[in-house]
Amino acid sequence: MITVTAMRWVPPIAQGLVKDLRIRWALEEAGLPYAMRLIGPETQNTADYRAQQPFGQVPVYEEDGLVLFESGAIVQHIAGRSPALMPDDADGRLRVSAWIFAALSSLEPHVQSFALINGFYAEEEWAKLRRPGAEKLARHFVEGLAGWLKDRQYLEAGRFTAGDLMTASVLRIARNTTLVDDAGLRPYLDRCEARPAFQKALAGQLADFAAHAPEAA
């Protein structure tokens, strides 16, 4: 059985964005059964957990003695087992892998930086000074993505793949900004989020948070 470690609760601002959602989504697309292991801060800094995840973060993926951390590596592993997430041909698989890396290396650092500056740190003086530069960089990369998708429904292979899963997951970080709409990427993101596998994964994560909310204790 596959087990995915996730947080049992996070503040509302982060709900729907915690990275175990990417793993749940990939597993739902692949049709692979899994169980959730929900933890709290008291577990994150233990020696046992750090032996699985050196930074004390989530998610962690466990299956038959295999332990993986980092959402990109986990999604890549799941995709390698599922034609729902990867093309059959070797070149196609490599191109989808390139988009997984692009989402994490080119898009996510700048999208997340701008989203944090625009939201969580908006009233900090340093954030006000940094905001124009962070926004310019984020828009540059989001617009590059939009240019690629101009005449495409999805990134590669003419259909949804793990590259789209990871890219859409990153775009969702910008939900409290206008980045996605300004770049014309709303239809693309809506297509990805409308998938039944995503809806099931999101509902599962939100249900776990609701069940473990402080007021429910």
Question: For 65-104, how does the pLDDT look when each residue is reduced to its tens digit (9 = 90+)?
Answer: 999 999 999 999 999 999 999 999 999 999 999 999 999 9
Indicate whether 78 and 169 sit together in one domain.
no
Indicate whether 70 and 101 sit together in one domain.
no
* Whether pLDDT at 38 is above 90: yes
Instruction: Report the domain count for the chain.
Output: 2
Q: Rounded CA gap, 31 and 71, in Å?
A: 18
pLDDT tens string 102-121: 999 999 999 999 999 999 89
Indicate whether 143 and 128 sit together in one domain.
yes
* Whether pLDDT at 217 is above 60: no
**CB 157, CB 88: distance < 8 Å:** no
CA angle 56, 216, 173 (to 5 degrees): 45
The model's pTM:
0.96
Indicate whether 159 and 70 sit together in one domain.
no
pLDDT tens string 170-189: 999 999 999 999 999 999 99
**Domain housing 158:** 90-195
